[in-house]
Structure 1
Amino acid sequence: MNAPRLPWQTLAPVQYKSLVAVSMASAKSSLGPVLVELIQTRVSQINGCAYCVDMHVRDLRKAGESWKRLNLLSTWREVPYVFTAKEQAALAWAESLTNLPAGFSDRNAEFEALRAHFTEQEIVELSWTVASINAWNRMAIGMHEPVGDTPLE
């Protein structure tokens, strides 16, 4: 197992603790822990963050999430019967905010789909969850945060 490039948590403790605080707020948000973890896992898959995928899949398994849903998360659009309409709207929004194009992109369709399932507060909480996991992914990837060697159960 490799060590991180730099002790990033201790070199910038204010930023690190601030990001931890945002993540803790997301975990306690009105979205519910399973939806938050699904979003964090999907965004981490998109960004290729092995450390975060491993961590959030483990958290989902501890919460009772099935292997079937975890295995199909990256292909959720192909299996709409596996994920609720609310989860699909959240996943589409998370992907939209994660895959920002170089030019202007209209996200009205994804945003309007959210309105059918989420309150305004929940939409903002969801957006903060996406923003924070993208930040974690970039730090973990950039600093080479190693994946633990604990086997999955």
Structure 2
Amino acid sequence: MAQEKVQYPQLFLRLAISATMLSAVADRFGFWGENSAWGNWGNFEKYTEQLTYFLPESLSTFSAYTATFLEILFSLMLILGFKTRLAAYGTGFLLLTFALSMTIALGAKAPLDYSVWIGSAAAFLLASQQNYNYSLDTLTKKKKKLSIMSARFNWTTLHPAAYKAGIGIEMALQNSFLDPIQKELIKIRSSQINGCAFCLDMHTKDALKHGETPQRIFILNAWRDAKEFFTEEEQVILMITEEITLINQKGLTEETYEKAKKLFDETQISQIIMAAVAINMWNRIAKASHMEIGK
């Protein structure tokens, strides 16, 4: 659940860092009017010369253009979530350079007044995150993982319409109420029942990246004997997953459905069912086409 708890603060941190740098860039072009610190590009060049007094004038001017370009570039990358870790590290080092230059040229108080050290530390903290929710990185990663290449045949080219429909289900489920851990529990449990090694390999790794513990993954196959490790909601989700996967036995029983109604509304129950249906589909494709683990 750890990743679920930080996804919104993490998004806020990305946007806050980006907004701060873009605001500084806007100031250099007089965007903030009377509230500007520099007000125009000429004043910013003079300020840069003050910070880089040890450089020739031509290099000082070049550093002003370079810093501005990088601030815009890193900000846009962070907002979009594109190469987020790279952008975060770049931002961290850029702000660290600013802080050191301000300290040398203006004294220790200057970077503290403008929170430059904090900005640098925040960027490095962002760079240390394992995953970036609500980002192009996540969407690209998920599409890549959903690319089905088998040892027998490439069904994505043989049946592109069916593949596109399957991807559509997965993309729709991205907007469900289920958090990343709950989704992975569904995928792992279904894959255990169906004996899909490819999907087990993929989704146990994904679960760990999302903050799931190895212990819960190890005992998932016997979760009924270790209920204290799973929340009431997770237990019902696992019950639905098992009954959907083993649909030929009893179907989704009335007992399980009534338990679900006490915890979830009809829309949420339908989302749990669709998540179980989706992984069962991928399980069958992976096993039928002999998809190779790790590819």
TM-score by length of 1: 0.90
SS in 2 for 1:28: coil
1:20 to partner: Cα distance: 1.2
TM-score by length of 2: 0.48
Which blocks of at least 5 consecutive residues in structure 2 are unaligned?
1-149
Identical aligned residues as a percent = 37
Cα distance in structure 2, aligned partners of 1:70 and 1:97: 20
- Whether 1:70 aligns to 2:217 is yes
Report the equivalent of 2:254: 108
Cα distance in structure 2, aligned partners of 1:39 and 1:147: 19
* Larger Rg computed on CA atoms: 2
Go from structure 1 to structure 2 and tell me whether the alpha carbon gap of 1:120 and 1:106 turns closer, same or farther (over 3 Å shift).
Answer: closer
- Whether 1:38 aligns to 2:185 is yes
- Whether 1:14 aligns to 2:155 is no
Matches within 5 A, 1:44-63: 44-63=191-210
Tell me the number of residue pairs that the alignment of Structure 1 and Structure 2 aligns: 146
Contact (CA 8 Å) 1:80, 1:88: kept in 2 or not? yes
1:125 to partner: Cα distance: 0.5
- Whether 1:147 aligns to 2:293 is yes
Report the equivalent of 1:81: 228
Task: Choose which of 133, 137, 144 in structure 1 pairs with 2:283.
Answer: 137
The ranges of structure 1 where at least 4 consecutive aligned residues each deviate by more than 6 angstroms after the TM superposition are none
Cα distance in structure 2, aligned partners of 1:143 and 1:123: 31
Contact (CA 8 Å) 1:27, 1:33: kept in 2 or not? no
Task: Compare relative contact order (CA 8 Å, sep 6+) and give the higher one, 1 or 2.
Answer: 1
Deviations 1:41-90 (A, max 9, x none): 10011000111111111110000110000101111111000001100001
1:106 to partner: Cα distance: 6.5
Cα distance in structure 2, aligned partners of 1:56 and 1:133: 10
1:24 to partner: Cα distance: 2.1
Deviations 1:86-120 (A, max 9, x none): 00001001101111226x65610111111121111
Question: What one-letter code is carried by the residue in structure 1 that aligns with 2:216?
Answer: R
Deviations 1:30-51 (A, max 9, x none): 1112101110110011000111
Cα distance in structure 1, aligned partners of 2:155 and 2:252: 35
Go from structure 1 to structure 2 and tell me whether the alpha carbon gap of 1:13 and 1:92 turns closer, same or farther (over 3 Å shift).
Answer: same
- Structure with higher helix content: 2
Cα distance in structure 2, aligned partners of 1:60 and 1:121: 24
Deviations 1:117-141 (A, max 9, x none): 1111110011111111111000000
Cα distance in structure 1, aligned partners of 2:193 and 2:242: 8
RMSD of the TM alignment (CA)? 1.5
Go from structure 1 to structure 2 and tell me whether the alpha carbon gap of 1:105 and 1:60 turns closer, same or farther (over 3 Å shift).
Answer: closer
Cα distance in structure 2, aligned partners of 1:137 and 1:75: 20
Cα distance in structure 1, aligned partners of 2:216 and 2:239: 16
